[in-house]
Amino acid sequence: MKKTIPAYQRIKNAILDNIHSGKWQAGNAISTEMALAEEFGVSRMTVNRALKELSAERVLERRQGSGTFVAQQQFNHTFVEVRNIAQDLKSANRDYEAKVVSKRAVTADMLDEELRRKFDIDKDHGVDNSSHAPVLYEVKIIHFADGQPIQFEERWVDAHKVPEFMAQDFSVVNTSEYLIAKSPLERGSYTIRAIAAPDEIARFLQIAPQSPTLVLRRQTYSAGQVLTFVKMWHAGDRYQFSGEL
């Protein structure tokens, strides 16, 4: 049976859709609690829960006596610094090139458990949906330094939040730069692991199968929800991670 979405969550989703579509922009007042209660056929208490949670997530700002507004989020300078391999290589005076291996729209029935969990997509999402609308967009890209493959990127993006993602030429436009420009990031998390290269990854990186690779897995959030999840595979003898404390 298809899982029923709680009323407060439906209200949150609708508000987020209006913000991401540009209907409600930063600083705009949203519908009143009474109007939302009437629109969704719920109590004002239910609406209040949705607005309270979105306020805690810094999506909305509630002003006593004035109403509820789309928060003026400090996104001109993102809360999360995301390293951009194109920029890093160019800064190091190395020739940079990107080759798009594949791009595709992903429907709910195509997702594995990891992606369902990352993007909080229920197994029954999309059941009885004849349109089979995409829930995620997937892109795979090889990044080259001086003609040598140095990183293989596998990325998934919420299709509802960034509907024009697939129209971009990612051999020219960097994925991270584009996403920050469209939906700037408020927080993220990542892990780095050493993994023996599977055959497909080895082929893309032009290394022997089972060679050591460094894999950075990162998910970033915008407006309180996961916007993108990415796996970045690096040839172990060509790449290192470093920083200052």
pLDDT truncated to tens, each residue of the chain (245 aa)? 445 788 998 898 888 888 877 788 888 899 999 999 999 999 999 999 999 988 887 788 888 888 999 886 543 334 445 667 887 787 778 899 999 999 999 999 999 999 999 998 875 554 444 457 899 999 999 999 999 999 999 999 999 989 999 999 999 999 988 888 777 677 888 899 999 999 999 999 999 999 999 999 999 888 778 999 999 999 988 888 776 66
Q: How far apart are CA 243 and CA 75, in angstroms?
A: 24
Count of alpha carbons within 13 angstroms of residue 241, beta-carbon side: 15
Q: How far apart are CA 35 and CA 12, in angstroms?
A: 14
Per-residue confidence (pLDDT) for residue 81, from 0 to 100:
55
Coil, helix or strand at residue 192: strand
Per-residue confidence (pLDDT) for residue 72, from 0 to 100:
67
Per-residue confidence (pLDDT) for residue 73, from 0 to 100:
54
Q: Let me know how long the chain is.
A: 245
Query: If you ran DSSP here, which 8-state letter would residue 82 be given?
Result: -
Amino acid, res. 149 = P
pTM metric for this prediction: 0.69
Residue among 101, 99, 94 at smallest CA distance from 145: 94
Q: How far apart are CA 29 and CA 72, in angstroms?
A: 11
In the chain the beta strands, taken as DSSP E runs, fall at: 60-63, 67-70, 96-106, 136-145, 148-158, 187-196, 212-222, 225-235
Cβ contact 154:230 at 8 Å: yes
Per-residue confidence (pLDDT) for residue 19, from 0 to 100:
80
Q: How far apart are CA 46 and CA 10, in angstroms?
A: 10
Query: If you ran DSSP here, which 8-state letter would residue 81 be given?
Result: -
Query: If you ran DSSP here, which 8-state letter would residue 100 be given?
Result: E
Rounded to whole angstroms, what are the CA distances from 41 to 8, 111, 112, 210?
Answer: 11, 33, 35, 57
